[in-house]
Amino acid sequence: MVLIVGIIAVIGACKKSENDTTTAAATSCAGKNTFTIASSCSDTASGSITGIDNASLSGTFSKFHIYGIQGGYSVNNSTDCIDNSTIIASWANTVGYPTGAASAIVNNVVTSSSTFAERFKFYSDSGCSTELASIVLGHDDLSNGGRASGLDTSEGPSTASKLTYNISCAKFKGSTAAGVTWIKTMLDGTDPTVGTEYTCDVGTNARYALMFVDNSSGVALAYGNRVYFEESETAVPDNWSDPDIYYTLP
């Protein structure tokens, strides 16, 4: 879960003194002075990110679509609902999950030609109906810096696009006390109220990545496009190093 781990590291670290001004407190979002109230943080699928090596990217892409296609893993690709306790338990040391989580939706969605969102939603039932908590993280100002070549083919494709973008907003809601506790862990310094949805501007948190969208006919027909993704907080990676692999839907 490269994306969310990096987000926690930056967003959670941006704390101010307890002696912040009254003005800052008045404009804070969810009780965090380095967050301000935002008008929106979309996670509605729209548009297409073009110019990515080797194909455009649109709609929803997820690490877990592959399990829904293969079957037998309790992943429903029509809803993106993950009803698999082993998968959810595997997140204990990364994104975590609220106490009582029985199912989840974890995916990414393209929201315009230069933006995408990352979604984490947890539910108390097996069918992703009764929400415990949700976090949406918006990424904007996506820019393509051209093609990297000569990459390690034992890890991924030989070429990839060099991307830069920002983590700019967060939309989140804890529907239960357990959900709120999870959000406080994920977004350090926030103090949300049960049942209230917050939409916050989280500042500019630069990210850099390699991305390759594999639309070769055999893969795309069976699994949808395969998306190779390698992210860094400091600079565009020089090479693949165990990249995350996501799938669109065929």
Cα–Cα distance for residue pair 33/172, rounded to 1 Å:
16
The residues that bridge with 205 in the sheet, in sequence order, are: 167
199 has pLDDT over 70: yes
pLDDT bucket at 196, cuts 50 / 70 / 90: very high
Phi and psi angles of residue 218, each rounded to the nearest 5 degrees, phi first: -65, -45
Cα–Cα distance for residue pair 11/17, rounded to 1 Å:
15
| Percent of the chain residues topping a pLDDT of 90 | 85
Residue ranges of the domains in the chain?
2-12+29-247
pLDDT bucket at 13, cuts 50 / 70 / 90: very low
Quick one: pLDDT at residue 180? Answer: 98
Question: What is the pTM assigned to this prediction?
Answer: 0.90
DSSP 7: H
User: What average pLDDT does this structure show over 24-28?
Assistant: 64
DSSP 222: H
The residues that bridge with 116 in the sheet, in sequence order, are: 110, 139
| Residue with token string 């850099």 | 208
Express each pLDDT in 163-193 by its tens digit.
999 999 999 999 999 999 999 999 999 999 9
Cβ(245)–Cβ(61) below 8 Å: no
Cα–Cα distance for residue pair 26/31, rounded to 1 Å:
9
pLDDT bucket at 222, cuts 50 / 70 / 90: confident
Express each pLDDT in 53-68 by its tens digit.
999 999 999 999 999 9
40 has pLDDT over 90: yes
Instruction: Compute, in degrees rounded to 10, the torsion defined by CA atoms 203, 6, 63, 43.
Output: -10
